A and B are shown apart, each in its own frame.
Chain A
Amino acid sequence: MPEDLEGLKEQYLRCVRCGQCRSVCPVFEAVKNETATPRGKVFLAHLLATGEIKANTQVQAQLSRCLLCRSCSKECPSAIPVHQIVSAARAELVCRAPSPVKRMVFRHIWTRPRRLALAAGLTRQIQILGLDRLGLSLGLLPPGFALPGRLPRRAARATIPAITPAAGKTRLRVGYFLGCSTNFLFPGVAESTVAVLSRLGCEVVIPPELKCCGLPQLASGEADAAVNLASANSEVFRRLNVEAVVSDCASCTAALKESPEFAGIKVIELSELLLELLKEYNPGLQQITKPVTYHDPCHLSKAQGITAAPRELLRLICRDFREMDGASDCCGSGGTFALYHYQTSMAILDKKIAAIKKSEAEIVATSCPTCIMQIRHGLTGHGCEIDVVHTVELLERALGRET
């Protein structure tokens, strides 16, 4: 079970309110007043814990203004885990003043693959009928609803087989944690992941009974639901006897690595695994000639501390790899954050788009489906024709067609 607010007491008491976290919080940078600072959120959590403030929608609104990007937790000289404190405070709020709609979504729909698939299908139907545009223009739907764009016709799980053998000699049997975003929004990324892993000698297993990784639940204060998901998922992998578990979603990977239920299961970040595989067996790589830049997903760089491997991978396959300014700055996506705080999210995104433009790259690579969605949305909004892809898709191109 993740620490609850009481369990984090020693942590929030140690916050000296120095304000150093103001220098890195993307939400604060966009909102520009103290109420949006990480320090302020720790302060609210403290008040909530001591009962000095009541759980109400105002507190909920303040605490919802967090991307859980962890920039603050990383910057804090006192090592205060602000993101954990925010999550715990959200859980406390859910416990004291639950919101029935959110409960329904995060607890009863998102945790069950079938219901989630139904909801996605329904969303697609709404999109086909144009009801989403109608809802958006009438202001019945929050503007963030437009972010995912038209959902693909078929989810990845519907098309990719449960087991894909290695293309040549089997070097490794991996469990592929095909997360919700990749599954519903980017089935193409899932196909690339499977194809590349297979080309590099992996037998890829996608257990059909896998559920959500639990991160959306944790972020929305449904900690016990997250724990249930993690234990169900870990059971599945244990039964399968895979040598390692990978995911193309930085957020899922971080969630799996951090859940105690996964203790003893080897979870490897995709780009690190790919590099390792390529070192053992390199079937020849064609160079991508267009200039490529890389965006660090927060859940990769800050949550897992991984920044070198994806770059090393890109340098192997790109003739012209170039850094953008602030590559590790958050893109403002933060899971469902944009749904509630569209303007703030877009203000954060604008900075990212400006950095991408300045780099003059023609392709942006990254390793998280929600970042892809967000950055694509921003580039389209700015009228830029720059491709946003998953690193693994570029690698698939570099590996060329199978002969």
Chain B
Amino acid sequence: MDRQKLGAELKRIFPPERVLTSELERRMYSYDSSFMARFHSFVPDAVVLPQSTQEVSALLKLASQHRIPVIPRGAGSGETCGCLAVRGGIVVDLSAWDTIEEVDVANMQVFARPGVVHYKLNEHLAGFGLFFPPDPGSTRMCTVGGMVANNSSGLRAVKYGTTEQYVLGLEAVLPDGQVIQTGGANDCRALKNVSGLNLTKLFVGSEGVLGIITRIRLRVWPRPQARGMAMAVFSELELAPAAVLDVYQSGILPSGIEILDTSAIQAINMYKPEINLPSAEAILIFEVDGNPAGVAWEGQQIAEIVGRHAVSVEWATDPARMADLWRGRSVVAVAAARLRPDGSRIFAGEDISVPLSRVAETLRRIKELSRKHDVAVVNYGHIGDGNIHTAPVINLDSSAEVQRANALVDDIHRLAIAMGGSTTGEHGVGAVRNQYAVDEHGEAALVMKQLKETLDPLNIMNPGKLFPPEGGKDRA
């Protein structure tokens, strides 16, 4: 169908102001936060902004009829081109559909439309003394729909896990326009439910390739009353994971454990000298939360246990001091670019996940790779669950550097698999890691593909993502 006709058809489903067809408007949907999107122009044929399940269903019927790709999009904060029209088609921007429909306090759950922004959900829940624990760094922008589709998580995944643990049920529109409720139809509000195949979990992390999520039933938790933080400085990188293991062995489960390596410490000190981190091979930041007495006891224990490995440990419960300690960790993603004056931090190879026992080894290997490819990197991450964020810093104007960065990133992904880990712990696959699907999953990758073909025989839902590309390595 030509674009003009498509626009006209879409305007029969949506009011005209919620259909974007001009070249310029479409172009503004050609990016997310990924490195790859900087070098491609994935411009969709149209953009629609739904406000009801009926609209989404009618859209998918139209798309099926004409075999037009449909690409769901939240805030576009993803790092994988997941929400981009790599094969053309209609982008469905769900971020404006952002109503929190109900907080069911008695049943500890909340019902939301997909566009609700994560921090706004938690602001709203705070009024009820509740919270939705996963805490991605993108809290200020990412949508809960995007979080479910990517199974997102954050610093506190150590204790609170990932989004999947909280999704009780979904309303989803399948590629043919059929609307289903997972986790129990008939307004099910059960917290435990093991009846039937778990379609909810199938949709969590499906990155928009199975259908569009239009309503989300989330479990919520009581807010912890107290928090405390410890910062430990290490003279040798290997001592840091050992300290983490000792803490776990002592029966303590911190809410977050973060690591900064030498490069990260250096970058932070260059960016904000006033933070003034001690130069060291590694710094660990522990966070514990819970009731005030428990937090105090756990803090003391951590200080004592970690103190056996560390050069120094500092324990803090004063909010101002905690904010100071946390600032170092929170500015690192941005600070990375300071490693060189003409440098930009890129999001590529940024999210591998390895076994806890091999974190130190992986960090050393990444440093070697960085030297081999002559690309500066900053390393930090959620050491508590083995999730390492590597930030390559390059001059985007130099095509030689871009090429070297791509080679480095490929090596980092392969390193993760070799270590018995995964190419991505949080950000997902999209169109930037799908070439590793078979290496990572073996035969299971083919079963995934069969499932996809069953639900989406016409391959209109977010094509070019998640599954290995046909005929080899063509990206997208």
Q: Which residues of A contact B (CB under 8 A)?
A: 10, 13-14, 16-20, 22-23, 32-35, 40, 43-44, 47, 53, 58-59, 62, 75, 77-79
28 contacts between A and B (CB under 8 A): A14-B344, A16-B33, A16-B345, A17-B76, A18-B33, A19-B33, A19-B76, A19-B77, A19-B141, A20-B141, A23-B117, A33-B47, A34-B47, A35-B20, A35-B28, A40-B28, A43-B31, A44-B28, A47-B27, A53-B24, A53-B27, A58-B22, A58-B23, A58-B24, A59-B24, A77-B331, A78-B334, A79-B334
Chain B 46-78 interface residues, beta-carbon cutoff 8 Å to A: 47, 49, 75-77
Q: Is B140 an interface residue (CB 8 A)?
A: yes
Q: Which residues of A contact B402 (CB under 8 A)?
A: none
Decide if A17 touches B33 in the complex (CB within 8 Å).
yes
Decide if B49 touches A32 in the complex (CB within 8 Å).
yes
Known: A33-B20, A53-B24. A18 touches B96 (CB 8 A): no
Q: Which residues of A contact B138 (CB under 8 A)?
A: 18-20
Decide if B31 touches A17 in the complex (CB within 8 Å).
yes
Give the CA-CA distance A221 to B28 in the complex, in Å.
22
With CB as the reference atom, state the residue of chain A lying closest to B271.
A79
Most buried by A among B28, B141, B346: B28
Give the CA-CA distance A53 to B26 in the complex, in Å.
13
Q: Is B93 an interface residue (CB 8 A)?
A: yes
Decide if A13 touches B28 in the complex (CB within 8 Å).
no
> How many Å from the CB of A97 to the closest CB on chain B?
14
Q: Is B342 an interface residue (CB 8 A)?
A: yes
Give the CA-CA distance A16 to B333 in the complex, in Å.
11
Of A10, A13, A14, A23, the contact of B141 (CB 8 Å cutoff): A23
> How many Å from the CB of A291 to the closest CB on chain B?
25
Interface residues in B, total, Cβ within 8 A: 37
Decide if A77 touches B344 in the complex (CB within 8 Å).
no
Decide if B347 touches A16 in the complex (CB within 8 Å).
yes
Give the CA-CA distance A396 to B181 in the complex, in Å.
64
15 new A-B pairs (CB below 8 Å) besides A33-B93, A34-B76?
A14-B337, A16-B346, A18-B77, A18-B138, A19-B75, A19-B76, A19-B141, A19-B142, A20-B138, A20-B140, A22-B141, A23-B141, A34-B29, A34-B93, A58-B23
With CB as the reference atom, state the residue of chain B lying closest to A61.
B24
A-B pairs, 9 with minimum CB distance: A32-B96, A23-B140, A19-B141, A77-B334, A19-B77, A40-B28, A35-B28, A17-B33, A22-B141
> How many Å from the CB of B346 to the closest CB on chain A?
8
Most buried by B among A16, A32, A40, A53: A16
Contact pattern, B 92-116, Cβ under 8 Å of A = 1, otherwise 0: 0101100000000000000000000
Q: Which residues of B contact A (CB under 8 A)?
A: 20, 22-25, 27-29, 31-33, 37, 47, 49, 75-77, 93, 95-96, 117, 119, 138, 140-142, 331, 333-334, 337, 342, 344-347, 396-397
> How many Å from the CB of B9 to the closest CB on chain A?
20
Give the CA-CA distance A276 to B212 in the complex, in Å.
60
Q: Which residues of B contact A10 (CB under 8 A)?
A: 342
Give the CA-CA distance A127 to B394 in the complex, in Å.
59
With CB as the reference atom, state the residue of chain B lying closest to A16.
B33
Give the CA-CA distance A20 to B24 in the complex, in Å.
22
> How many Å from the CB of B15 to the closest CB on chain A?
13
Most buried by A among B23, B24, B77: B24
Of B77, B95, B337, the contact of A78 (CB 8 Å cutoff): B337
Give the CA-CA distance A59 to B346 in the complex, in Å.
27
Give the CA-CA distance A14 to B341 in the complex, in Å.
11
Give the CA-CA distance A257 to B49 in the complex, in Å.
42
Give the CA-CA distance A20 to B119 in the complex, in Å.
11
Give the CA-CA distance A13 to B342 in the complex, in Å.
10
Give the CA-CA distance A34 to B44 in the complex, in Å.
13
> How many Å from the CB of A222 to the closest CB on chain B?
23
Of B49, B75, B93, B333, the contact of A77 (CB 8 Å cutoff): B333
Decide if B397 touches A13 in the complex (CB within 8 Å).
yes
With CB as the reference atom, state the residue of chain A lying closest to B75.
A19
> How many Å from the CB of B121 to the closest CB on chain A?
13
With CB as the reference atom, state the residue of chain B lying closest to A32.
B96
Give the CA-CA distance A77 to B33 in the complex, in Å.
14
Give the CA-CA distance A79 to B331 in the complex, in Å.
11
Give the CA-CA distance A44 to B76 in the complex, in Å.
16
Give the CA-CA distance A47 to B331 in the complex, in Å.
28
With CB as the reference atom, state the residue of chain A lying closest to B396.
A13
Give the CA-CA distance A147 to B33 in the complex, in Å.
39
Give the CA-CA distance A19 to B136 in the complex, in Å.
14
> How many Å from the CB of B175 to the closest CB on chain A?
24
Give the CA-CA distance A47 to B337 in the complex, in Å.
22
Give the CA-CA distance A16 to B93 in the complex, in Å.
20
Give the CA-CA distance A58 to B346 in the complex, in Å.
30
Decide if B345 touches A62 in the complex (CB within 8 Å).
no
Decide if A17 touches B141 in the complex (CB within 8 Å).
no
Give the CA-CA distance A11 to B27 in the complex, in Å.
21
Known: A14-B344, A34-B93. A62 touches B24 (CB 8 A): yes
Give the CA-CA distance A150 to B47 in the complex, in Å.
43
Q: Which residues of A contact B331 (CB under 8 A)?
A: 77
Q: Which residues of A contact B342 (CB under 8 A)?
A: 10
Q: Which residues of A contact B28 (CB under 8 A)?
A: 34-35, 40, 43-44, 62
Give the CA-CA distance A22 to B331 in the complex, in Å.
19
> How many Å from the CB of B443 to the closest CB on chain A?
36
> How many Å from the CB of B99 to the closest CB on chain A?
12
Q: Which residues of A contact B37 (CB under 8 A)?
A: 17
Give the CA-CA distance A44 to B24 in the complex, in Å.
9
Give the CA-CA distance A17 to B35 in the complex, in Å.
10
With CB as the reference atom, state the residue of chain A lying closest to B74.
A19
Give the CA-CA distance A59 to B27 in the complex, in Å.
12
Q: Which residues of B contact A16 (CB under 8 A)?
A: 33, 344-347
Q: Which residues of B contact A18 (CB under 8 A)?
A: 33, 77, 138, 141
Q: Which residues of B contact A19 (CB under 8 A)?
A: 33, 75-77, 138, 141-142
Decide if A35 touches B25 in the complex (CB within 8 Å).
yes
Q: Which residues of A contact B76 (CB under 8 A)?
A: 17, 19, 34
> How many Å from the CB of A14 to the closest CB on chain B?
5
Q: Which residues of A contact B345 (CB under 8 A)?
A: 16
Give the CA-CA distance A88 to B347 in the complex, in Å.
27
Decide if B95 touches A32 in the complex (CB within 8 Å).
yes
Decide if B344 touches A13 in the complex (CB within 8 Å).
yes
Q: Which residues of A contact B347 (CB under 8 A)?
A: 16
Give the CA-CA distance A19 to B95 in the complex, in Å.
12
Give the CA-CA distance A78 to B347 in the complex, in Å.
14
Give the CA-CA distance A34 to B93 in the complex, in Å.
9
Give the CA-CA distance A62 to B22 in the complex, in Å.
12
> How many Å from the CB of B153 to the closest CB on chain A?
17
Most buried by B among A34, A53, A59, A77: A34
Q: Which residues of B contact A40 (CB under 8 A)?
A: 28
With CB as the reference atom, state the residue of chain B lying closest to A21.
B141
> How many Å from the CB of B405 to the closest CB on chain A?
14
With CB as the reference atom, state the residue of chain B lying closest to A9.
B397
With CB as the reference atom, state the residue of chain A lying closest to B35.
A16
Give the CA-CA distance A77 to B334 in the complex, in Å.
6
